[in-house]
Amino acid sequence: MTTRTDPAPGSARPNLAVRVWRKLLDSLPISAPRAALYWGIASLVANVLIIFTGGVVRLTGSGLGCPTWPRCTPESLVPHPELGIHGAIEFGNRLMTFVLAFVAVGTALAAFRVRRDGLPRRDLRLLSLIMGFGIPLQAVIGGITVLTGLNPYVVAPHLMLSMALVGLSTVYVRLAVHRPRNGTGRWGRRLAWLLFAVMWVVVWLGTIVTGSGPHSGDESSFRTGFDPYIVSRIHATSVQVVVGLTLVALLVLRNRAVVTLLAVEVAQGVIGYVQYFTGLPEPLVAAHLVGSALAVAAVTWVVVETYPSASADPHEPATGTGAAPLLVPGRGPSDPPSVGDPSSAD
Ligand code: HEM
């Protein structure tokens, strides 16, 4: 059986610093695969949370509560009392960046610690680095959002990057869970990718609806000028397409991920219509925002499930029907045994 510190077959003995580092990590009270999973879940939750807090900034009209960036005002890094509650809300959202950065570092360290059969989890490492890079990028786009007076064409990519980080966190979590994926054939995978693409169109159209509506984040900010009624109808039509495709996917793929996606879409659709017919009350708009993040997570999960787990043994065929495994240079993403099995704790 593989032990925690086994080197890869045929590889050189690691140097002293690496061995000390591994010993230190091995002495932690939590196994490496479990830690990777928990940090992945923390990343997912934190990225959904910042979408929610960003929504609170917009829905309370606090978008320019700190009127400049990276300082809150030209004179001060932090808000002063004259900026009132709006300054506190906007600054609170800026502080969330540090929570995200902390979680991103933890996620990356966990990804670099976890090994299986002596091999590094390059899939998790790569994902964690991309996710980590997204945080400073997002802080800069957030700054540009403020400096452009909440221009909706800047607010939209700001939200969509957070959505992308939710998607990446979902992939990370699924690859860190030690439950094998059966995968599907080529057509199942194509259908999942089509569903994924249309969902992103739905999200993008949603941001156009928001940019044309009343919740701009500040009374002074620029609107797209589109008729909110027309863009809402276009957005709702794209949702009907995504729901139709999900029903087809349910027949073709028959897995838990698609059922979850359908449940999220139905809940999200109900919230969407109710908010539309009741004059966009803030709590419902906030719920719709969180629902959008969950929809992105669910559709990403659907795609991941169409790729079979790769075998740790390169000579052993992967399960599923003729697919390349997802993100696996050097390592298959998620094979048995289950989380917590000592044989998987490297
Ligand atoms: C899968 C289902 C849906 C998803 C993923 C989705 C996604 C989104 C997203 C991402 C936004 C932008 C949020 C923001 O920029 O802050 C949005 C806004 C909006 N959506 Fe949806 N949506 C869905 C269904 C619907 C439906 C069925 C309606 C019905 C008309 C609807 C009505 C709206 C409205 C009115 C807004 C603007 C809210 C505002 O002014 O802030 N949505 N949606």
Distance 213 CA to ligand 1 centre (A): 11
Nearest residue (CA) to ligand 1, atom 10 = 203
Which of 210, 221, 240, 242, when mutated, tests ligand 1's pocket best, judged by the most ligand atoms within 8 Å of its CB? Answer: 210
Q: Tens of pLDDT along 62-92?
A: 999 999 999 999 999 999 888 999 999 999 9
- How far apart are alpha carbons 99 and 49 in whole angstroms? 10
- Which residues of the chain are modeled with pLDDT < 70? 1-12, 25, 311-346
Distance 246 CA to ligand 1 centre (A): 18
Contact present, 125 and 51 (Cβ < 8 Å): no
User: Is residue 216 within 6 Å of ligand 1 at its C-beta?
Assistant: no
Q: Distance from CA of residue 279 to its chain's centroid?
A: 29
Distance 13 CA to ligand 1 centre (A): 55
Q: What pLDDT, on a 0 to 100 scale, did the predictor assign at position 19? A: 80
Count CB atoms within 10 A of the CB of residue 23: 11
Three-class SS state of 116? strand
Helices 282-305 and 152-176: angle between axes, nearest 10 degrees: 40
Q: What pLDDT, on a 0 to 100 scale, did the predictor assign at position 18? A: 76
Count CB atoms within 10 A of the CB of residue 320: 20
Which of 208, 288, 299, when mutated, tests ligand 1's pocket best, judged by the most ligand atoms within 8 Å of its CB? Answer: 288
Nearest residue (CA) to ligand 1, atom 4 = 292
User: Is residue 346 within 6 Å of ligand 1 at its C-beta?
Assistant: no
Can you name the residues that pair with 329 across neighbouring β-strands?
none
Q: What are the C-alpha distances in Å from 95 to residues 17, 51, 90?
A: 35, 13, 9
The DSSP letter of residue 148 is T
User: Is residue 304 within 6 Å of ligand 1 at its C-beta?
Assistant: no
Q: Identify the helix (H) or strand (E) that includes residue 119.
A: strand 119-120
Q: What pLDDT, on a 0 to 100 scale, did the predictor assign at position 327? A: 61
Contact present, 98 and 324 (Cβ < 8 Å): no
- How far apart are alpha carbons 275 and 46 in whole angstroms? 25
Q: What pLDDT, on a 0 to 100 scale, did the predictor assign at position 20? A: 82
User: Is residue 138 within 6 Å of ligand 1 at its C-beta?
Assistant: no
Distance 279 CA to ligand 1 centre (A): 13
User: What secondary structure does DSSP assign to 258-299, as a single string?
Assistant: HHHHHHHHHHHHHHHHHHHHTT--HHHHHHHHHHHHHHHHHH
Buried b (16+ CB within 10 A) or exposed e, 153-186: ebbbbbbbbbbbbbbbbbbbbbbbbbebbebbee
Distance 101 CA to ligand 1 centre (A): 28
Closest among 105, 135, 179 to 340, alpha carbons compared = 179
- Rounded to 5°, the CA angle 146-276-265 comes to 90
For 60-116, where are the alpha helices, taking DSSP H only? 84-113
- How far apart are alpha carbons 321 and 300 in whole angstroms? 20
Distance 132 CA to ligand 1 centre (A): 28
Can you name the residues that pair with 120 across neighbouring β-strands?
115
**Which residues 6+ apart lie within 8 Å of 171 measured at CB?**
127, 300, 304, 326, 327
